[in-house]
Amino acid sequence: MDMTTPITVPLETPSPSGARSKKRRGVVIVAVLVVIVILSLAGYHYTDMATSEFKASVNAHKLAQARSFADSGIHYTAALLGRPENLVELNGNPWSNSARFANQEIKADGKTVGYFSIIAPPDPGEEANQTRYGVTCEASKININAVFKLDTTGELLFTMLMKLPDMTEDIANSIVDWIDPDSDARSGGAESDYYLGQNPAYRAKNGPLDSIDELLLVKGMTRELLYGNDTNRNGIADPNEQNNVTFYRGWSAYLTVYSREQNRTLDGKGLVFLNNTDLEQLYNGIVDTIGDEDLAKFIVLARQNPMADINSAPPKKAVEGSLSEYQPKFDRKARYSLISIYDLINVRVVRNNVIYNSPLNDVERQRALLPRLLVYGMILDLPEIPARVNVNTAPREVLLAIPGLTEADVEKIIGQRPKLSTEEKTPDIYATQAWLLTESQFSLDTLKGIDRYIGGTSQVYRVQAVGWLEGKGPAVRIEAIIDTNAGRPRIVAWRDMTDLGKGINDTPAP
């Protein structure tokens, strides 16, 4: 074969049946689109989570701010109540003072950032849906622990509890059993053998209550009895709490464990012990604190000699004497003690056929001296006495529970004393319980009978503070018990009540 001759190789044409298609498929594009969608959804989910977390963070920050504003309200109120001179700024009226307790601004760098208000239940007898800007007197209630100290048999406490609305003998006896130290159940009451049969089991306290909520552990007690239909515990009849039934705050409006009465003045100074055996020290103490030498001389005389009613017949040949001319004899021992400050009224002492009348017999001097004597004098030489009920702030139900007070007496008290809802200055005469004698002419026998149950001052307060931000944002409500005894305000109880609502009917922001 000629090597120069080209060789022709025929090209094969693939048959249509066995040929591979040259067209591209769209699987990759679909896969890419699916991946993009998934990534987009993941990005959206992440963005949504980040947005939600951001909003939650902002809300948490606002809530923390509102809480700090409410806390500020508590500490602000403690500072106001802790010093007697601050009470002067409040016109002696911390119960209703919108100028100092309503919509108080909180500023930062000169700009308003939030507010707080101090709110309290309405004055007993007033409309139950009216917010009062002020504090609540804890001494306006019956102190369960203090009453039991006065009578450890529990009979006094039982008697007072039975005078409260809707109280039953079984529940009253169960309360006494809960705090008395013995294990003997009273009629219808309960001791540990009953509570150990409950699920879960527990024992009777057999000691003083630590809080009113502890009563919920007592046999027969329910939340409705303790707090009534005041579901948010603001003392106000909110629309959702009425439901065509009478609004009722429950026994929590009448009972407490926090009131205290130290034998010291509001600024922490010691009181004058009127039964002091050192008569010279007694004399000097009365002159220094009350500022009346005649009263100091008469009390020294009364401690050395028997007192007699001014209406009794004086000894023959006895003549009227003058306390201003009398010189006390401190070398003579004290032979008599005072049971009540009211023992010094409408009485006289006869010494060596000379009659010395008490300065408190005179109405005008009585009006001036008796309030000071009640503030600065003490009958018992104790660090503190069982807390009494403040006659100036106690509701009708509490006053009716006081042994020795009749319904007519209670109506006279409520009709004459200043209302808690008034924002006017409280007259000085109502700074103590002296007005019961000087203004209302209660009998001395009645006052002596109720002396250990009734006082006229307050040193422990219940405070509810609502804090909120400028503009839109959450509101926080804090409740605290402030003890101002001895001029050192202390917060002895603290509760966050935000979950129960802001507790104020009107819109907080002004």
Q: Look at residue 466 and give its three-state secondary structure.
A: strand
Backbone angles phi, psi at 108, to 5 degrees: -135, 125
Q: Which residue, chain included where needed, has tokens 């004597």?
A: 373
Q: State whether 372 and 467 are in the same domain.
A: no
Over residues 417-430, mean pLDDT:
88
182 part of a folded domain: no
Per-residue confidence (pLDDT) for residue 270, from 0 to 100: 82
How are beta strands 132-133 and 454-455 bridged, if at all? Answer: unpaired
Which comes out higher in pLDDT, residue 346 or 264?
Answer: 346
Task: Assess whether pLDDT exceeds 90 at residue 86.
Answer: no
Same domain? For 277 and 372 the reply is yes
Query: Of 340, 362, 363, whose CA–CA distance to 439 is shortest?
Result: 363
The pLDDT of residue 46 is 82
Q: Which of 76, 82, 81 is closest to 95 using CA atoms?
A: 81
Q: Check residue 357 and give its pLDDT.
A: 96
Confidence (pLDDT) at 45: 80
- Comparing 476 with 7, which gets the higher pLDDT? 476
The H-or-E segment that residue 116 falls in is strand 111-120
pLDDT at 110 over 70: yes
Q: How buried is 77 (Cβ within 10 angstroms: 0-12 exposed, 13-18 middle, 19+ buried)?
A: buried
pLDDT of residue 54: 75
Residues 355 and 251: beta-carbon distance below 8 Å? no
With cut-offs at 50, 70 and 90, classify the pLDDT of residue 420.
Answer: confident
Q: Answer yes or no: is pLDDT of 119 > 70.
A: yes
Domain that holds residue 76: 62-134+461-500
pLDDT class of 5 with cuts at 50, 70, 90: low
Q: What is the pLDDT of residue 183?
A: 94
Residue found by looking up tokens 């504003």 in the block: 69
**Of the residues 325, 355, 378, which one is the last residue of a structural domain?**
378
pLDDT bucket at 205, cuts 50 / 70 / 90: very high
Residue 465 inside a domain? The answer is: yes
Q: Could you tell me if residue 16 is inside a domain? A: no
pLDDT in tens, 284-319: 999 999 999 999 999 999 999 999 999 998 888 899
Per-residue CA distances from 387 to 155, 298, 384, 467 (Å):
18, 29, 8, 32
Residue type, 384: E
pLDDT, residue 504, reads: 82
Cβ neighbour number for residue 150 with a 10 Å cutoff: 14
User: pLDDT tens for residues 393-402?
Assistant: 999 999 999 9
Q: What is the chain's percent helix, strand, coil content, to nearest 5?
A: 40, 15, 45
What is the 3 state secondary structure string of 139-208? Answer: HHCEEHHHHHHHCCCCHHHHHHHHCCCCCCHHHHHHHHHHHCCCCCCCCCCCCHHHHCCCCCCCCCCCCC
Q: Is the pLDDT of residue 228 over 50?
A: yes
- Tokens standing for residue 187: 């009629």
Residue 34: predicted pLDDT: 85
Is residue 491 a part of any domain in this protein? yes
The domain total for the chain is 2
Classify residue 192 as exposed, middle or buried by CB count within 10 Å of its CB (0-12, 13-18, 19+). middle
By mean pLDDT, which of 89-93, 178-182, 190-194, 314-318 is the weakest?
89-93
Of 212-226, 230-244, 273-287, 409-423, the range with the lowest mean pLDDT is 230-244
Residues in CB range of 292: below 8 A, 6 or more apart: 286, 359, 369
CA–CA gap between residue 359 and residue 373 (Å, rounded): 12
Spatial distance between the Cα atoms of 166 and 225, rounded to a whole number of angstroms: 8
Please report the pLDDT score of residue 509 as a whole number. Answer: 46
**Band (213; pLDDT cuts 50, 70, 90):** very high
Residue 214 pLDDT: 97
Average pLDDT, the chain: 89
Model confidence pLDDT, tens digit, residues 461-494: 999 999 999 877 889 999 999 999 877 899 999 9
Where is pLDDT greater, at 326 or 85?
326
Task: Work out the burial of residue 169: count CB atoms within 10 Å of its CB; fewer than 13 is exposed, 13-18 middle, 19 or more buried.
Answer: middle
SS3 296: helix
Q: pLDDT band at 363, cuts 50/70/90?
A: very high
Residue 510 pLDDT exceeds 80: no
DSSP code at position 251: G
pLDDT at residue 18 is higher than 60: no
The least confident of 75-89, 175-189, 287-301, 361-375 is 75-89
Q: Tell the residue number behind the tokens 């139900």, with chain if given.
A: 397
* Residue 301 placed within a domain: yes
Domain boundary pick from 353, 378, 403: 378
Say yes or no to pLDDT of 32 above 90.
no
Pair 70, 476: CB distance under 8 Å: yes
DSSP per residue, 309-365: ETTSPPPTT-EE--TTT----TTSPP----S-GGGGSSEEEEETTEEEE-GGGSHHH
Provide the token pair at 343: 């023992």
> Cβ neighbours of residue 296 under 8 Å, at least 6 residues apart?
282, 283, 284, 286, 287, 290, 328
Give percent of the chain with pLDDT exceeding 70. Answer: 92
Q: Is residue 225 part of a domain?
A: no
Is 47 inside a domain boundary?
no
Tens of pLDDT, residue by residue over 41-54, are: 888 888 878 788 77
Confidence band, pLDDT 50/70/90 cuts, at residue 93: confident
Of the listed ranges 137-146, 268-277, 433-442, 499-508, the least confidently predicted one is 499-508
- Both ends of the chain: CA-CA distance in Å? 117
| Domain final position from 349, 378, 407 | 378
CA distances, 472 to each of 59, 114, 152, 380, 469 (Å): 11, 10, 54, 55, 7
Strands 307-309 and 347-351: antiparallel
Please give the radius of gyration of the chain, using alpha carbons only, rounded to the nearest integer.
37
Asked if residue 297 belongs to a domain, the reply is: yes
